[in-house]
Structure 1
């Protein structure tokens, strides 16, 4: 059973970079701890692209981010000293906790051209971990278990599923997997978590007799356990256990509206450290209404 179908909505990030925004959605803010889900590309970037396409240094709190690429390369720099490219089928897992800043730049594309295609997801942290120290880890190869069976080629990005566990440290029960499905192939959908979704990045799949094409997220009921590719399909599976309500304000996530307001004030006042390796510019706080505070500083 499908509980809901969410279509990506096109959003401009500036400089000519456009994404398909999936989560949050008005009628479905989260799937398990996944609070944000953007589909980037596919986008052909010509050599010599303007630096305006880069994502300049900007802040986060209360979440972990993962940019997962099918193709292309993005250079990551952050305020705890990490400098490492994001490459296809590798994981750069950044936990913001009480606060981190980072940039994402298209240096390879600028030098030689590139084809950018991937997913950026944010994972909310449990309340007890929202103010944890910021951290960064890189994973590839055996850290991210792979398998192939009957036309389905999979990689576990984070969490546990299919009897496998990725080496990425997470703060709550979840799973995140990438499947490449040949036409006609049938894939099992993990059933160990109470909230689950399937996103079609390319191609098409069949579920309960209906076909779903690229750009659609299927929020799944508890009994959903199999999906079939009607064309070659790139599919992302995600889910986990719910954490309770979270509020988003620009790049900040928190269970407290007052904490969002504090983070916005800190960024506007220059109190959040920029990456040492990329500290000459930053994205200013957008001109947005401040997040309303709840009684006694608690989220409502």
Structure 2
């Protein structure tokens, strides 16, 4: 059955940069191991204020961030010394493990002013055995990601396995993540091999069991349900899911199976024990003074 429909909510990522926040949601915090999902753009910002939306260096623990662009470009710099221009169709998978910091800067004002920038960012929680793994960053080019086409259907496997497709993106638990484009009237189904599955409607409108769902909604399903997805207009979906990992605590940019580990990460960032990117270390995001329960991320949550 359809477990839940999640409406994207507006969240402020930076001054002048609002995003659609899909996960976490208070009634359904994760889909498989995916614990966070933001949809940014299309962004249309005047050049004189473009520097205001840069995401300054900030920390993560206990998760992998996944950046996927539909258009535009982003400059990634992290505390491992990696500098990577993120381009459309690539997979940029950063595993925080025991701790990493990174920045995301939008260094081409023309891209922002033209409305080209559009991206999805997700966090994938790590299994307990990998929460303290060494941090890492990997960039995968579009040609490394398998594509399948059929009548009215185009899909790219971003990570994991689904529909008989696999790729070499390094993951830590069973999951799948896909970019799917459907032409009007195309029919599509969910992969059946995963415990929990969902899809976010980026563009367009789909129909399921006679009910129409617009862009900006995520639909989540459990195993054993095989609905027929009908595109009522040209549509773009981000489909994801996998094995559930158990409860996770999330506060700001920190994810862990243990509350005390979140507290340690807060202290480490405040004390400067998590290094800054060596080529982007003149400014950073300070630890928020948010006092809410650790189960509720403050609105400043960054990706």
* CA-to-aligned-CA distance 1:12-61 (integer Å, 9 cap, x gap): 11221101111111110101000001111122233343322100000000
Which deviates further from its counterpart, 48-57 or 82-91? 48-57
Equivalent residues in 2 for 1:113-192 (5 A)? Answer: 113-114=113-114, 115-192=116-193
Encode CA deviations 1:263-294: one digit per residue, 9 max, x unaligned. Answer: 001101111100011000000011112767xx
Task: State the 1:224 CA deviation.
Answer: 2.6
Q: TM-score, normalised by structure 2?
A: 0.93
Contact 2:146–2:165 (CA<8 Å) still a contact in 1? yes
Residue by residue over 1:153-205, the C-alpha shift from the partner in whole angstroms, topping out at 9 and shown as x without a partner, is 11000000111112110000000000011101112311110111011001111
Which aligned pairs between 1:57-76 and structure 2 lie closer than 5 A? Answer: 57-76=57-76
| 3-state DSSP of counterpart to 1:85 | strand
State the secondary structure of the residue aligned to 1:219.
Answer: strand
Partner of 2:239: 237
The answer as to whether partners of 1:261 and 1:290 remain within 8 angstroms in 2 is no
- Give unpaired runs (5+ residues) of structure 2: 295-303
Q: Name the CA distance, whole Å, in 1 between partners of 2:15 and 2:80.
A: 27
SS in 1 for 2:43: strand
What SS does structure 2 have at the residue aligned with 1:77?
A: strand
Task: Map residues 212-251 of structure 1 onto 2, 5 A cutoff.
Answer: 212-222=213-223, 223-251=225-253
Number of matched pairs: 293
Query: Which residue of 2 is the match for residue 42 of structure 1?
Result: 42
Describe the superposition over 1:94-147 as per-residue Cα deviations: whole angstroms up to 9, x where unpaired: 000000000000002367744221211000000000000000000013321111
Point out 4+ residue stretches in structure 1 off by more than 6 angstroms: none
Per-residue deviation, residues 186-232 of structure 1 (Å, max 9, x unmatched): 12311110111011001111111111111000011331343111011
Residue aligned with 1:190, SS: coil
Cα offset for 1:6? 0.3
Pairing 1:200–2:201 present? yes
